[in-house]
Amino acid sequence: MIASSFRDCKAWKDEGLPLTTTSNEACKIYDAILSQYVTWRNDETLGGISGCMSAIKEADPNFVMGHVMSTGLELVGTGSSIRLNQRLASAVKTTVALALAQDITPREKLHAQAVELFSIGNFPKACDVWENILVEHPTDLLALKFAHDGYFYMGAQAQMRDSVARVLPYWKPHIPLFSYLKGLYSFGLLETHYYDQAEKVAKEGLAMTRNDAWCVHSVAHVHEMKGEVDKGLRFLETTETDWQGCDMLACHNYWHWALCYIEKGDYEAALRVFDSKVSRSCKSTGAMLDTVDACSLLYRLQMEGVCVKDRWRELVQVTLPHTDDHVTVFNDVHFLMASLGAQEADVSQRLLEGLREVAQDPGDNYQHQLSERLGVPMCQAMVEYDQGNYSRAVELLQPLRYHMMEIGGSDAQRDVFNLLLIQAAMKSSNKHHNKLARCLLTERDALRENSPLTNRLIQRAQALHG
């Protein structure tokens, strides 16, 4: 039995978001899942999100929004696709069929439509549908959060910001989960480089809810992007007890913590964070965010000359089952980091060939459309770099510089590819590439003043080429 504090049928109707079910329990469980999704926290007293997903179907097997919630959450997790997972494909079909067969609200029908579009990889149209819901129902938090995730996977930075800005005036402090909109909005501001405003909004959110891990993330991220490494570390350390219980985001905040150590050149400290927090979470949850962060962290350390070979062997066991998924290009390029690091040449080749295959007939799948234009050349560049063909890696990566945001993720996450281009240009035997490396470092220094990592790279480039 879900606690009475969660909204029942009448409460949802009173808020203008009626749910088509006669089960108060189903409505409360729906609210419980939404709360956990938005707060990045599996509440074990409720059975976590997984337990609630089972419970909502027991409470009302034909509850369309219950199916939208459970199927949608699995899809936005990007750990599986209907192309390979028949159970998930069946779940999508069931959601759509229930929506067509019942007399439900137009809003609920649109939710089912958006889930179907997202399932076939048509992220842009799915986001359009969620936005249409928000025009009529600006307090529909599920539509807002799904749209936010969809934009994240497309690297649609302005849309992440504006989607929240459009609905904020309609939200009032008494509406459940109101404060968490501050975290969503601050991230959109951050990704569009409004750093001071992003920090201000995030701190407003923290004043309302201290354990909002997403607001903590935004503040730490701001310090990182502004080159305030020590300030970022202190903030993460002083707030750790508040956000470490948010198990779906804590690993990512620890990832930022490790990045600060890499910036400072304290590789041993970064490895301690990787071993005790990032790697442990990745292996226990299998969540895609944790997995790609683990890959990225090791890849950065490896480019800095740190030996992480044994850790790659462990990590590739997590990424290996996802080699053929091709749900997002962002995931694929990170899985390749692991197979290259573990020297699993057959796996790397299989991943690259799979990307080429889905690129041949992408249909409406946004990510497969990206595969030919971005996924294949980015992966090929990583293979060339791994084989010591630095000039070829530069030739592949340089034309893509200003398009890489389309693979999704945040500026901080995609920065690993900026660093890869710089490293390749520094190591290239082509003198023009060496000059390019110096230009890129000058540009980086202008964007991130006082960055210890940039200063080290500048010194390295001077030592190599004068």
The predicted structure's pLDDT at residue 442: 97
Taking 90 as the threshold, does the pLDDT of residue 322 lie above it?
Answer: yes
Candidate from 1-10, 232-241, 450-459 with smallest mean pLDDT: 1-10
- d(C-alpha 14, C-alpha 94), whole Å: 28
The DSSP secondary-structure symbol of 212 reads: -
Mean pLDDT, residues 419-425: 98
Taking 90 as the threshold, does the pLDDT of residue 340 lie above it?
Answer: yes
Taking 90 as the threshold, does the pLDDT of residue 12 lie above it?
Answer: yes
The predicted structure's pLDDT at residue 129: 98
The predicted structure's pLDDT at residue 46: 94
Confidence of residue 56 (pLDDT cuts 50, 70, 90): very high
Residue with tokens 């549908």: 129
Mean per-residue pLDDT of the chain: 97
pLDDT in tens, 202-233: 999 999 999 999 999 999 999 998 889 999 99
Mean pLDDT, residues 76-97: 97
In CATH, the number for domain 1-153 is: 1.25.40
The predicted structure's pLDDT at residue 72: 98
pLDDT in tens, 284-316: 999 999 999 999 999 999 999 999 999 999 999
Taking 80 as the threshold, does the pLDDT of residue 466 lie above it?
Answer: no
The predicted structure's pLDDT at residue 227: 87
pLDDT in tens, 180-196: 999 999 999 999 999 99
Q: Please check whether residue 454 is in contact with residue 448, taking contact to mean a CB–CB distance below 8 angstroms.
A: yes
Output 233-239 pairs: Cβ under 8 A, ≥24 positions apart: 233/257, 233/260, 233/261, 236/260, 239/206, 239/210
Confidence of residue 351 (pLDDT cuts 50, 70, 90): very high
- d(C-alpha 329, C-alpha 167), whole Å: 30
Confidence of residue 3 (pLDDT cuts 50, 70, 90): low
The predicted structure's pLDDT at residue 55: 96
Taking 90 as the threshold, does the pLDDT of residue 273 lie above it?
Answer: yes
Burial of 183 (0-12, 13-18, 19+ CB in 10 A): buried
- d(C-alpha 46, C-alpha 158), whole Å: 35
- d(C-alpha 157, C-alpha 159), whole Å: 5
What the block records as the tokens of 94 is 């069931």
Counting residues of the chain whose pLDDT is more than 70, the rounded percentage is: 99
pLDDT in tens, 232-270: 999 999 999 999 999 999 999 999 999 999 999 999 999
The predicted structure's pLDDT at residue 1: 65
What the block records as the tokens of 134 is 């928000």
Which residue type does 210 have?
A: R
> Which sequence spans correspond to the domains of the chain?
1-153
The predicted structure's pLDDT at residue 400: 98
Taking 90 as the threshold, does the pLDDT of residue 413 lie above it?
Answer: yes
Start-to-end CA distance of the chain, whole Å, equals 70
Mean pLDDT, residues 77-97: 97
pLDDT in tens, 105-119: 999 999 999 999 999
